[in-house]
Amino acid sequence: MSDNADLFEEIKTIILEKIAETKLSGYWHPMYGGLMFELEEGNRKSGIGGVFISRNHISFEYSSGYKLSDPDNILEGGGKYRRHIKIRNFNDVDDKQLVNFFKQAYENALQLLNNN
């Protein structure tokens, strides 16, 4: 882990608090060295994404990020499904619209669950 480990842990705490403020129900569970959020506990298909600390940044990964509206081209990643945001400082949490994308991903996952 980098010299930024303490800073990144603080930022992760802020991310989790901001998501909790949305009052959207779901479950966090440890996975891949980070925390993943699911609408239904134990149902991996209801996963929205997760927060992960790496050496130089925090990444918030959106499982079906390709479905998210991103007119400002904030999301990174060119894979088939996933998109992510790299957070390097406190301002990035708001500037990169993390909660907005989370809410979109939540609604998309909810619709998918309700249609099955």
Domain boundaries, the chain: 5-115
Please state which CATH number belongs to domain 5-115: 3.90.1150
| Confidence (pTM) | 0.91
Identify the segments of the chain with pLDDT beneath 50.
1
Task: With beta carbons less than 8 A apart as the criterion, state whether 84 and 60 touch.
Answer: yes
Residue 3, pLDDT score: 66
Tens digits of residue pLDDT in 78-104? 899 999 999 999 999 999 999 999 999
Residue 4, pLDDT score: 76
Coil vs helix vs strand at 88: coil
